[in-house]
Chains A and B, each alone.
Chain A
Amino acid sequence: MSELSLSGTLHSLAQRDLMIAFRRRADVLTTVFFFVIVASLFPLGVGPEAALLRSMAAGVLWVAALLASTLALHRLFAADHADGTLEQMLLAPQPLSLLVLAKIAAHWLTTGLPLVLVAPLIGLQFGLNTAEFPVLLAALLLGTPTLSLIGAIGAALTLGLRGSGLIALLVLPLYVPVLVFGAGAIEASAAGLGAAAHLSVLGALLLFTLVFAPWATAAALRIAVE
């Protein structure tokens, strides 16, 4: 029996997580509905003044996205930890940080990407100019993977601890740069300043976490399993 290639293992790990997510569709839908509902609460709370809502749109959208993605984080490793799959991951003859990256990619596809797809709907609800939609989508496409990557560190660090509130306390402060530049991109574009600078910073954050987060997550998982 020969050894399976690294890319084969990573592909199959991501495929497995997507398959499980597909069979537990309710979890995926919960995240999306949570996002929609949180964003919809704001007009009810602050009143239906169109100009006010339009100026809040970017901020509300991003805060709702942050909260929704936090809600899904505990799923990333908890089940694997409970059923022994995590041990098998640690014992795999492949670098753990790359296995972690494959899992994060699958997690983003099932939580981050649906949020990106629903976001224009929320944008319309807030009267956001359709001209800002390309910037909105670009910012979310660059920002939400960063949320999944940072969230994975939090999920690994809080593994085995009781209460899922802790993970939010740990991760939300770390989400602040993404929030600031993600919402800033849309506001800058609406003000006619161009969003290139904000999007570049979001891209830089993504690259930085892409390198750093899987490694940090792997280290945290090793400690959690010991």
Chain B
Amino acid sequence: MLSFNSLACERGERRLFTGLNCELAASTLLEVRGANGSGKTSLLRMLCGLLDPAAGTILWRGEEIHALGEQYRGQFAYLGHAGGVKDELTAAENLRFSASLASIVIDMTSEAAALAWFGLGDHAHLPCKTLSQGQRRRVALARLRLSAARPLWILDEPFTALDAQAVQLTQSLIESHLEQGGIVVLTTHQDVAIKAPTVQRIELAA
């Protein structure tokens, strides 16, 4: 469903990678690995359409992602380094607003369920500035729980700042998404063994 051909990336006159090819069918996990500065985040941002590739094409169901535009943006969920969590808002408000920005309709029940699932039930109505780094990451991840209808998940370092329990919760969320035919593209430095029907790996050289 998602494929890219001879993809190249240049950042500030430096060529990070060239000739990257990949074809991802349903239920496929793509693990992008590589040292710091090898272009993992750039690759993920290209797949979102935030960054234009120096060369190559990215296709979603056979069509250029830029030509699809808003149609493509309705197909995936992206979690970047910064999770878009506002200090002034509570966990519940953050989740509600980020879901509505992504055009996902949620009600109080699904909102509470997503927060409770990540162990934030007791903290749902506290301003996020009072939460720890890991808890804020959980708030950002809770949006994935509401994004099951989006076939493609693009996750940049989803396990950063999480404790063992939260890593496991996130892992099972990713696994169930893959089981239901979703595609997950992720980068990580941690050794988290995600069970997937099909696994592909890209190793970026520094």
Contact = CB atoms under 8 A, between A and B. Distances in A.
B93 A13 contact: no
A62 B91 CA distance: 41
A94 B97 CA distance: 14
A15 B48 CA distance: 27
Contact of A93 (B52, B74, B84): B74
Interface string B63-81: 0000000110110101011
A88 interface: yes
B103 A87 contact: no
Interface of A, helix, strand, loop or mixed by DSSP: helix
Q: Which of A4, A79, A95 has the most CB of B within 10 A?
A: A4
Interface in A93-150: 93-95, 99
Contact of B101 (A19, A92, A95): A92
B192 interface: no
A84 B84 CA distance: 4
Nearest to A225: B50
Interface of B: 48-52, 70-71, 73-74, 76, 78, 80-89, 93, 96-98, 100-106, 127, 146, 148-149
A4 B100 contact: yes
A192 interface: no
Contacts of A89: 101
B78 to A, nearest CB: 5
B88 A88 contact: no
A79 B82 CA distance: 11
A20 B103 CA distance: 20
Given A16-B89, A83-B85, A93-B74, A88 B149 contact: no
Given A83-B86, A85-B86, A87-B80, A12 B100 contact: yes
